[in-house]
Amino acid sequence: MLVKRLLKRGVAHLDPPLAGLLGLLLLLSLATVYSASGGDPDKVLAHLTNMGVALTALFLASHIPPQRLMQFALPAYAVGLLLLVAVELVGDVVNGAQRWLNLGVTRIQPSELMRLAVPLMIAWYLHHKQEILRPLDHAVAIGLLLVPVALIIHQPDLGTALLIATSGFFVIYLGGLSWRVLAGAAALLVLAAPFAWHLLHGYQRQRILTMLDPSSDPLGAGYHIIQSTIAVGSGGVAGKGWMNGTQTHLDFLPERTTDFIFAVYSEEFGLIGNFLLLLLYGAIIFRGLVLAAGAPTLFGRLMSASLVLTFFIYAFVNMGMVSGILPVVGVPLPLVSYGGTSMVTVLFGFGIVMSVATHKKLVKT
Amino acid sequence: MKTLRLINPELEFLRYRRRLELAGYIAALLFMVLLGRFFWLQVLQYDRYQSMAENNRIALVPAPPPRGVIYDRNGAVLAQNYSAYTLEITPDKAGDLEETLARLAELVEITPGDLRRFRRLLGESKGFESVAVRSRLSEEEVARFAVNRYRFPGVEVRARLFRQYPYSDTLAHVVGYIGRINQQDKDQLQADGQDANYRGTDHIGKAGVEASYEHWLHGRTGVERVETDSGGRAVRVLSRDPPTSGSNIHLHLDARLQQVAAEVFGDYRGALVALDPRNGGVLALMSKPGFDPNLFIDGIDAANWKELNDAFERPLINRALRGVYPPGSTIKPFMALAGLELGLRQPGDSIVDPGYFSLPGSRHRYRDWKKDGHGIVDLKKSVVVSCDTYYYRLANQMGIENMHRFLGQFGFGERSGVDLDGELAGLLPSPAWKKRRFRQPWWPGETVIAGIGQGYTLATPMQLAVATMALANDGVVYRPMLLRAWQDAETGRMHYAAPQVVGRIPLKSRHVAVVKQAMVEVTLPGGTAAVAGAGAAYRFAGKTGTAQVIGIKQGARYDEKRIAAHHRDHALFIAFAPADAPKIAVAVMVENGGHGSSTAAPIARKVIDYWLLGKLPGAPVAAAPAQEAPVDEESEDTGPVLEDAPATTPAEEGAAHAG
């Protein structure tokens, strides 16, 4: 019944330019995953399935009115926070990090939920306080951000924590936090950096050191970076051609369908391909920001812009990591990497962006 | 903090727009940074990364060369390669090894010995290297495995070249064997700068000709440029620089002659060396008992090793090069020649042999082997009947220094330089040596017994053969050589080894002729080897000798029948023939053979018969030492009977005479 209704309403809530650009990116992803997996039909089929699920998520999200979404903010955030605390207390340790919560039936990673829940919560909070915004409200917003981030850092999952912190920061920044506070926070961050270094876990420090000098440990921590940099560099201007990347097909690239898929793409399509990819990402981000700017409510503006900018951060961090200018953090290349969770989360986010943009005619503030 | 701020939606929206635009610009800027990075990597640093990717991708896989073949002088193959299938496991890829082995055993036969060897090799290799479980799979086994191959990851059938020694124990001490390269070999190869050429080679010559001519036999390792994945597995071959197989080695040795020698030795232990007096070529070099060199190729297992190494017969020792024995009476022709050359004796000079010799002013008697003496003895007769008294007296007159100098020219006390490893130098004593070794002066009595090849003097069968060769060819000392030629694998050309002259002894031909004639008469009626020489179709020159194994108590007499077999004297015989134009010089040592005349001489005769006449021996010369060999009184040539208990070791001997 729901499906029928949705189909009747059709594509009214989709933004055609954004949908078209995302579609292009997905096609490119399909080609790259095909190559990266060595044409493994199982993997390609699974990838297609993930895309189907993620597109459905986008379609559904685009039909959720922003008001409805706002109602989810507090419960989603509260549940997410509870789960994080639970992880802290009884989580499973995988690869030395306590990130997973075993529900008996399945294990979940609550930090994934928080990727959407944190910006949602802060946007919702600032939206509600928009009539009379006091400095204290910004402090609360910052608190809403820092608590889950601190819990995730402690797991430890620095990459996710930083990304969630960024998405929350975008909301607060766009919500009008004064420049003086921003500047103060930045100064504090710089001052705190040496102390933070001591708080980092050994492997985290190693990753940063490795980024600075990958050759210090060529078969250990530096291996990923060295091999991916070789892949990117050897791609040259025109690339080695689709399915012809030697780094990829001879198994030198680690994680080549997931976090390091950009190396595959870059090796096979070269600088020209990279330029086109950046252009495509840029277009998506531009369109997303345009839609965010046109949103009728503060919540919509903050939420949409935060989602789009976070999308940008994901893309930038991933490509920066693969090309060796950022430390290795477990971030997939959004909408290109193989992997369902990330794809669903990102497209669901774009669904929200479209919903916010298309519901303005229907719902007046 | 307390101020409430009313929000102006218009202003608020403008600020949002400004901040959003700023974020957008920053995003664009960061993308430009990325683009710059890509430009750096993909354009400016392209060459560097391109070559790194190539190096990643392309592995140089060594292609080991087939080893050179070893031939005898007639082209008989002494060491060859054959191709066979082996079943190999790469432990890293195989998963549960024990389970894999158990399942494999259902398909192909795997003996406990195979398993032992596999586990030993496993311990020596790295996990990504394949280790052989079984070699020489039958066609049927290969087929059976091929069908089930999918069930065995990390298990492969490979065609490999194997080394094989067709003559087994007969030529074990000459041809030697190859074995797996160990750490010591690796260090040596590295020191020689050869380690690169041995990539991909598992085996190296460990003993014998295999070791001596390793540098020719091995060949040049080729290289395949192979595209590999990150696991190092070859995906496909891009280009190939084929290996150059090892050079073939041709020996002077005649395998059939060697077989004849082995055959006529029967069950005796001992050694035989036959040289070509015209160039020093080693025609036969035998040490009995031998061992099966094929056991050593892939590492001998503990049980076999123990059996070989602990055996009373010591089969692993090359007696021809490492067995040192008192030369006994075989030294006499050389002493006779020394007497002539040094002007101490004329051929016609005679002495009267009362059956003993005493030093002036001493009542100590050095007794002849013949109790009542040989009567009137001239130089020729002294050789023919092996008169001890003659040489006691001559030695005393000559003095140890002269003796040392003269005999040294024939190679006594020095390694012959034969192209095999492990040769011992024997011992040619001198006062200087004794002072160094024992810090004691030389006693005149020691010179006396040195005159009949007893006392400190020790020689290997090879040294006896070299001395005999030098006598046979009138004084040319060649370096004994197994190598006759090597065949360059690249050009196919044969490179013949030139004879190497170590020294030319200035000898007067009339002196040499006298000694040679005496040696011919040794094998004629009346000589100590008359029985062995009977009916020879050529002039057969020889000299018997006996080396004592245990000392005889003062006044006691050596009684062969009452002495345990392994305490019997070693029998020696040196010979060359034909006497006028020698084509072969032989030294035979039969451990516990008793008399040179009864065991060693017939062996030499049959070997020479074969060499000169092509006559095959009928049966071994004598029964094994456990049985009684008939002794001909006439040809008896036991060692001297010394009144001081002599011993086989120089140390004891020195002590006995010092007192």
Instruction: Name, in order, each residue with C-beta under 8 angstroms of A25's C-beta and a sequence gap of 6 or more.
Output: A280, A281, A284, A335, A336
Residue B52 lies in a domain: no
Q: What is the mean pLDDT of residues B613-639?
A: 51
Q: Do A173 and B23 touch (CB under 8 A)?
A: yes
Of B541, B532, B540, the closest CA to residue B571 belongs to B532
Distances (CA, A) of A130 to A144, A289, A298, B4, B13: 17, 21, 8, 12, 11
Residues 278-337 of chain A with CB under 8 A from chain B are 278, 281-282, 285-286, 289, 292-293, 298, 301, 305, 309, 312, 316, 319-320, 323-325
Name the stretches of chain A with pLDDT < 70. 1-10, 92-108, 133, 203, 210-222, 360-365
How far does the CA of residue B47 sit from the closest CA of chain A (Å)? Answer: 7
The model's confidence at residue B432, banded by pLDDT at 50, 70 and 90, is very high
Residue B230 and residue B338 in one domain: no
Instruction: Name, in order, each residue with C-beta under 8 angstroms of B526's C-beta and a sequence gap of 6 or more.
Output: B384, B385
Q: Do B34 and A285 touch (CB under 8 A)?
A: no
pLDDT of B226 > 90? The answer is: no
* Mean pLDDT lowest among B1-10, B394-403, B548-557: B548-557
How far does the CA of residue B19 sit from the closest CA of chain A (Å)? Answer: 6
* B436 token code pair: 């160094």
pLDDT value at position A364? 45
Asked if the C-beta of A98 comes within 8 angstroms of chain B's C-beta atoms, the answer is no
- Distance between CA B114 and CA B373 in Å, rounded? 64
Residue B438 lies in a domain: yes
CB A334 within 8 A of CB A285: no
- Distance between CA A347 and CA A349 in Å, rounded? 5
Q: Do B38 and A289 touch (CB under 8 A)?
A: no
How many domains in chain B? 2
pLDDT value at position A365? 44
pLDDT digits (tens, 9 = 90+) for B459-488: 999 999 999 999 999 999 999 999 999 998
CATH classification of the domain holding B424: 3.40.710.10
More confident residue, B275 or B128: B275
Residue B429 and residue B576 in one domain: yes
* B286 token code pair: 């035998």
How far does the CA of residue B27 sit from the closest CA of chain A (Å)? Answer: 7
pLDDT value at position A189? 79
pLDDT value at position A256? 85
Measured between CB atoms, which of B31, B42, B231 is closest to A278?
B31
One DSSP character per residue, A277-334 reads HHHHHHHHHHHHHHHHHT-SSHHHHHHHHHHHHHHHHHHHHHHHHHTTSS-------T
pLDDT value at position B649? 34
Residue B16 lies in a domain: no
Residue B477 and residue B595 in one domain: yes
> Residue A234's closest chain B neighbor by CA?
B50
Measured between CB atoms, which of B38, B57, B235 is closest to A271?
B38
pLDDT digits (tens, 9 = 90+) for A204-248: 777 777 666 665 555 555 678 888 888 999 999 999 888 888 887
pLDDT value at position A117? 92
pLDDT value at position B499? 93
Q: Which residue type does B503 have?
A: G
Judging contacts by C-beta atoms under 8 Å, the chain A residues touching residue B39 are 271
In this structure, what are the phi and psi dihedrals at residue B325, rounded to the nearest 5 degrees? -135, 150
Sheet holding B222-228, edge to edge: B58-63, B222-228, B234-241
pTM above 0.90, yes or no: no
Q: Do A130 and B33 touch (CB under 8 A)?
A: no
Residues 4-23 of chain A with CB under 8 A from chain B are none
Average pLDDT, chain B: 84
* Mean pLDDT lowest among A284-288, B277-281, B519-523, B531-535: B531-535
Residue B314 lies in a domain: no
Measured between CB atoms, which of B7, B38, B229 is closest to A251?
B229
Measured between CB atoms, which of A135, A298, A319 is closest to B34?
A319
Distances (CA, A) of B205 to A283, B250, B417: 71, 16, 19
Measured between CB atoms, which of B27, B33, B45 is closest to A233?
B45
Residue B479 and residue B525 in one domain: yes
Cβ atoms < 10 Å from Cβ of B479: 19
Q: Which residue type does A294 have?
A: G
Q: State ipTM.
A: 0.91
In this structure, what are the phi and psi dihedrals at residue B584, rounded to the nearest 5 degrees? -155, 140
Residue B174 and residue B234 in one domain: yes
Cα angle A308, A311, A314 (rounded to 5 degrees) comes to 155
pLDDT value at position A213? 63
Residue B282 and residue B394 in one domain: yes
Mutate which of A127, A167, A174, A234 to disrupt the B interface (most B C-beta within 10 Å)? A234
CATH classification of the domain holding B241: 3.90.1310.10
Residue B237 and residue B350 in one domain: no
Of all residues in chain A, what percent carry a pLDDT higher than 90? 43
Residue B237 lies in a domain: yes
pLDDT value at position A285? 96
Q: Do A233 and B52 touch (CB under 8 A)?
A: yes
pLDDT value at position B630? 36
Instruction: Name, in order, each residue with C-beta under 8 angstroms of B501's C-beta and a sequence gap of 6 or more.
Output: B476, B477, B478, B479
- Distance between CA B589 and CA B270 in Å, rounded? 5
Residues of B classed as catalytic:
329
Count the residues in chain A: 365
- Listed in order, strand segments (DSSP E) in B423-497 are 476-478, 483-487, 494-496
Residue B20 lies in a domain: no
Average pLDDT, chain A: 85
Q: Do B31 and A270 touch (CB under 8 A)?
A: no
pLDDT of B21 > 60? The answer is: yes
CB B545 within 8 A of CB B330: yes
Residue B81 and residue B219 in one domain: yes
Residue B230 and residue B282 in one domain: no
Judging contacts by C-beta atoms under 8 Å, the chain B residues touching residue A130 are 7, 12
pLDDT value at position B554? 44
Measured between CB atoms, which of B3, B7, B28 is closest to A131?
B7
First-to-last CA distance in chain B?
119
Q: Which of B191, B220, B251 is the last residue of a domain?
A: B251
Of all residues in chain B, what percent carry a pLDDT higher than 90? 47
Residue B607 lies in a domain: yes
Residue B527 and residue B554 in one domain: yes
pLDDT of B642 > 50? The answer is: no
Question: How do B541-547 and B501-504 pair as beta strands?
Answer: unpaired
pLDDT value at position B390? 93
Question: Taking each helix axis from N to C terminus, what angle separates B9-39 and A158-174, rounded to the nearest 10 degrees?
Answer: 140
In this structure, what are the phi and psi dihedrals at residue A11, rounded to the nearest 5 degrees? -100, 20
Residue B448 lies in a domain: yes
* Mean pLDDT lowest among B10-24, B115-129, B423-437: B115-129
Residue B479 and residue B423 in one domain: yes
Q: What's the DSSP call for residue B69?
A: P
How far does the CA of residue A188 sit from the closest CA of chain B (Å)? Answer: 20
* Mean pLDDT lowest among A108-122, B65-79, B294-308: B294-308
Q: Which of B220, B251, B282 is the last residue of a domain?
A: B251
- Distance between CA B313 and CA B291 in Å, rounded? 11
Q: B219 is in which domain, residue-wise? A: 60-251
pLDDT digits (tens, 9 = 90+) for B175-193: 999 988 888 888 888 888 7
- Distance between CA B505 and CA B469 in Å, rounded? 12
pLDDT of B337 > 90? The answer is: yes
pLDDT value at position A340? 83
Judging contacts by C-beta atoms under 8 Å, the chain B residues touching residue A173 are 19, 23
pLDDT value at position A363? 46
Asked if the C-beta of A176 comes within 8 angstroms of chain B's C-beta atoms, the answer is yes
pLDDT of B385 > 50? The answer is: yes
pLDDT value at position A133? 65
pLDDT of B629 > 90? The answer is: no
Q: Do B38 and A237 touch (CB under 8 A)?
A: no
Q: Which of B234, B251, B268 is the last residue of a domain?
A: B251
Q: Is B112 helix (H, G, I), strand (E, B) or coil?
A: helix
pLDDT value at position A339? 84
pLDDT value at position B621? 58
Residue B198 and residue B97 in one domain: yes
pLDDT value at position B635? 38
